[in-house]
Structure 1
Amino acid sequence: MTVAHPVRPSPAPPVGLADVRAARELLAGVVGGTPMANARALSELCAGPVYLKCENLQRTGSFKIRGAYTRISRLDPAERARGVVAASAGNHAQGVALAAHMLGVTATVFMPERAALPKVGATRGYGAAVHLVGTTIDESLVEARAFAERTGAVLVHPFDHVDVIAGQGTVGLEIVEQCPDVATVLVPAGGGGLLGGVAAAVPDGVRVVGVQAAGAAAWPPSLAAHAPVPLQAMRTLADGIAVGRPGDVTFPQVAALVDEIVTVDDDALSRALLYCLERAKLLVEPAGAAAVAALLEHPRRFPTPVVAVLSGGNVDPLVLGHVIRHGMAVAARYVELRIRIADRPGALAALLALIGAQGANVLDVAHSRISGALHLGEVDVAVSLETRGPQHIADLTEALRAAGHGLDVTRTDPGL
């Protein structure tokens, strides 16, 4: 289910358009502008132009390098000499590591013990010292703060600093240049650095919508309370936007400038990731696909032209496989049927031939004669299939029933 949360007016934001423009000057020649792809299929679905802002193709695989470089580049010589420290499960870690390397600053990053190996390897590859500590980002952040106090290293927060917000906001400047008539910008939202920065960069009248994972949606209750409110628990596959509390700096930024917060569940995120792979030919992590998930859930809700920000493409291959399977199940691309056939030679072969003729791909078959529900001379066949979607399943079941088979649809989940 998708729920909208209107944002109430608040005092002036900490970061304005001039700050974002100044950050862009710092980033010139360092961070490349990312392409904007015309999403034809989404445009048809939404009855108006839809474009994808491909920050998944940015250096390090996400927008995070923008804010990290802006923050570190503004440190004075004494601060740079002490080095920087960060806590992250992936995207921010890589952004800080690369930015520090480019600026000649020593970087230390604390990551959860179960952080994805490709992300750990990439962070080390950019030159950072990586320590695996704790089971969550919050626990890693505690260690990062302790390291900063012990050594004097500067903590580079993933979102809660004006320089980080300004750096992330350069995405918004590019959006306006690439799509001058943009009416709505959809932005994945975790701590609010990217969301608040983009909102500062786009002109008045452009609707800015933050998209959160329903299982980690700290912004709606915080905005309702007019202050950051921590979540008691989080559960979502979109770890890139799983932030338990809005920042003290990002909260007034988002409250002042963002028009709406929308939440999407993990099923919608899985469908969106699969959609990006199949239709846009773009690899996007679950968090990065949040804006597309909102469009798929409510295609006529947002004024067009719409720009959906794909915030990152760093996804663990193991997680990717799971999410793809789940997304296919949500889109009714998997189905399991229980079919009753006659217990005679050739009956099973005939059944499979009929299924094949309908264009379904058989993944697994189980054949049983032991069931109290069977009549004498019947066999129960459980068959797991890959299909093209709901209408294909309907056509297939109709063909099976027309051939005289009794059947039940038992499930459409990814564990086939």
Structure 2
Amino acid sequence: MDWKSEIEAAAARIGHRVQATPVVNVSGFGLDHPVELKLEHMQHTGSFKARGAFNALLASDVPAAGIVAASGGNHGAAAAFAAHALGIPARVFVPEMAGPSKIGLIERIGAELTVVPGEYANALALAQDYECSTGAMQIHAYDALETVAGQGTCIREWEQQGLQADTVLIAVGGGGLIGGTLAWLQQARRVVAVEPETSCALRAAQLAGQPVDVEVSGVAANALGARRIGDICFDLAKGIDTVLVKDDAIKTAQKALWQERRILVEPAGATALAALMSGSYRPEPGERVAVLICGGNIAPDPQLS
């Protein structure tokens, strides 16, 4: 697979459809070194997912039945947004655990929405049934070439913005974002996967030597709660380092982003920074570190202030 060419093609397709999100270099957060942040939570619909959704639609012949997507929330919003922008019918299945902020966002965009009891895997099963019965095109949240290539445009853009880091920390759910990152960088920089202790499909796959089902729970489960890592990510992520963080560390990082920088993110958006703040990842002396802030779909919470 010529991933560089796929990501370049994706960037050409979606360039005028997505935002170039800001990059900031910051000190603080209890760290003794500065860290570079890419604020991808400022992307359309509040996460990087718009990149993959637009690429999947623009690279495909979409049937008259439109598209269907299963999502913990962010992908569903992105797929609905891209479909609306392109005049394509969309049906989205999300689990109840997606929460009111993400469910409300999808409703406002205007897609047909079904809220499903349980977790992401339950929504995916119903989306697959809908695909078979209607002929709609499934837009997978993370384990499809077009999705991964679209997400890879984020790190491509970051390098064009002057990324100086030796190491990039990225939160992992199903693996679309880190898969796209690895596909673009091709070992040019170190990439560290960060997962919640209670939703760690990549770590489980690495230990088992293949993707396996895991139990998912915790504060970031509606964004990082994939029951099984994607096959594409698993192939790309062989040998990379993974670190795990506790829910309390995620909540601490989320609060610090708001209190110190007025950056309001969902728990998943704070997960990679939590690895630094908690010491789950300790940089070597002089190591330049960057963190991707991946999602911001959360209602304002007075407890953060």
TM over 0.5: yes
Aligned pair partner of 2:44 in 52, 59, 80 = 59
CA apart distance, 1:73: 1.2
Aligned-partner Cα distance in 1 for 2:234–2:179:
9
In the other structure, the counterpart of 1:40 is 27
Q: Which amino acid aligns with 2:213?
A: P
Aligned-partner Cα distance in 2 for 1:158–1:89:
9
Q: Does 1:18 align with 2:5?
A: yes
Indicate the larger mover: 290-299 or 211-220.
290-299
User: Aligned pair in 2 of structure 1 residues 114, 194: CA closer, same or farther (>3 Å)?
Assistant: closer
> How do 1:219-258 and structure 2 match up within 5 A?
219-231=202-214, 233-239=215-221, 240-255=223-238
Aligned pair partner of 2:296 in 291, 304, 313 = 313
Aligned-partner Cα distance in 1 for 2:145–2:91:
21
Q: Which amino acid aligns with 1:272?
A: A
Q: Does 1:173 align with 2:156?
A: yes
In the other structure, the counterpart of 1:268 is 249
Deviations 1:201-238 (A, max 9, x none): 2363311011101111121121122210111x222100
CA contact (8 A) 1:170 1:197 kept: yes
Aligned-partner Cα distance in 1 for 2:204–2:6:
28
CA apart distance, 1:133: 2.1
CA contact (8 A) 2:120 2:225 kept: no
Aligned-partner Cα distance in 2 for 1:20–1:222:
25
> How do 1:195-206 and structure 2 match up within 5 A?
195-202=178-185, 204-206=187-189
Q: Does 1:31 align with 2:31?
A: no
User: Aligned pair in 2 of structure 1 residues 204, 234: CA closer, same or farther (>3 Å)?
Assistant: closer
In the other structure, the counterpart of 2:60 is 75
CA contact (8 A) 2:196 2:271 kept: yes
CA apart distance, 1:182: 1.8
> How do 1:88-99 and structure 2 match up within 5 A?
88-99=71-82
> How do 1:328-367 and structure 2 match up within 5 A?
none
CA apart distance, 1:281: 1.4
Aligned-partner Cα distance in 2 for 1:196–1:114:
25
Deviations 1:304-345 (A, max 9, x none): 32110000000144xx456x49xxxxxxxxxxxxxxxxxxxx
User: Aligned pair in 2 of structure 1 residues 25, 290: CA closer, same or farther (>3 Å)?
Assistant: same
In the other structure, the counterpart of 2:117 is 134
Aligned-partner Cα distance in 1 for 2:294–2:182:
15
Aligned-partner Cα distance in 2 for 1:220–1:279:
31
Q: Which amino acid aligns with 1:170?
A: T
In the other structure, the counterpart of 2:192 is 209
Q: Does 1:304 align with 2:287?
A: yes
Residues matched between the structures, number = 302
Aligned-partner Cα distance in 1 for 2:59–2:179:
20
| TM-score in terms of structure 2 length | 0.93
Report the RMSD for the aligned CA atoms in angstroms.
Answer: 1.9
Indicate the larger mover: 298-307 or 181-190.
298-307
Aligned-partner Cα distance in 2 for 1:122–1:145:
23
Q: Does 1:143 align with 2:104?
A: no
Aligned-partner Cα distance in 1 for 2:177–2:293:
11
- Percent of aligned pairs sharing the same letter: 36
CA contact (8 A) 1:37 1:53 kept: yes
| TM-score in terms of structure 1 length | 0.69
In structure 1, runs of 5+ residues without a counterpart are: 1-13, 326-416
Aligned-partner Cα distance in 1 for 2:200–2:106:
27
In the other structure, the counterpart of 2:69 is 86
User: Aligned pair in 2 of structure 1 residues 115, 297: CA closer, same or farther (>3 Å)?
Assistant: closer
